[in-house]
Amino acid sequence: MATARAGGRLLPPAVRPPAPEVRANEPAAHDHVCCRCHSIVGEAAAGRVVKQLRVARAPRVLFVHLKRVLPTAAGFRKDRTPVVFRPVMSLAPVVERYGDAGSGKGRRRPLYSLVAMVEHLGDAYSGHYICHARQAAQGTGPGDLDERWRMYSDAESRDVTLREVLCREAYILVYDRVDG
């Protein structure tokens, strides 16, 4: 399996959960309150908050929307930080429970295969969206380098490789659950 390494951030890999994000000196806000007992959680009152992504139940189709617009003193700017994403990934490290409620299927590792990627060309105020989508092919499995991929734009559609897709500036990633 190939991975794009551009020295950028990494989406949750199959082997470890994403690192918690420590927010120092952030004032306590309504989103740092326990939804059960309504008390201030952790160190929010002291101005230190740890934020970590958790998923209650693994969905059939996973959409990952990457925040690419950042506020500045002069308005907004597009974040062009490279994001390393993989053609196959597991959500097991961040899922609260495996399997579906009432299905009796036990604890399966939620495994996902990349089926599409949307990129935005332009700046924070205008631009153009392009979609890269995987085409079903006989004899290939999730993440195979010989899978067919297509790039779709307004007036153009052409074949691309998975390597090309992994090196693009992702805006939205679409994963399909492949573990059943």
pLDDT(74) > 50 = yes
Q: State which CATH number among 3.30.70.100, 3.40.50.1000, 3.90.70.10, 3.30.365.10 fits the domain covering 54-177.
A: 3.90.70.10
Backbone angles phi, psi at 165, to 5 degrees: -60, -45
- What is d(CA 19, CA 45) in angstroms, rounded to the nearest whole number? 22
CA–centroid distance for 172 within its chain: 7
pLDDT, tens digit, 9 for 90 and up, residues 4-61: 333 344 443 443 345 555 555 444 444 456 656 666 665 555 555 666 777 888 899 9
Per DSSP, what are the bridge partners of residue 69?
A: 78
In this predicted structure, what is the pLDDT of residue 142? Answer: 57
**Residue 178 carries which side chain, given as an amino acid letter?**
V
**Residue 45 carries which side chain, given as an amino acid letter?**
A
Q: Are strands 111-122 and 170-177 parallel, antiparallel or unpaired?
A: antiparallel
Burial degree of 176 (CB within 10 A; 0-12, 13-18, 19+): middle
**Beta-strand (E) ranges in 30-144?**
48-51, 55-57, 61-65, 69-72, 75-78, 83-84, 88-90, 95-97, 111-122, 127-135
Contacts of 8 (CB under 8 A, 6+ apart): 81, 82, 83, 84
Q: Where are the domains of the chain?
A: 19-52, 54-177
pLDDT, tens digit, 9 for 90 and up, residues 99-145: 444 444 555 678 999 999 999 999 999 999 999 999 876 555 555 55
Question: 153 versus 146: which is more confidently predicted?
Answer: 153
Q: Are strands 61-65 and 170-177 parallel, antiparallel or unpaired?
A: antiparallel
Q: What average pLDDT does range 76-96 have in this prediction?
A: 87
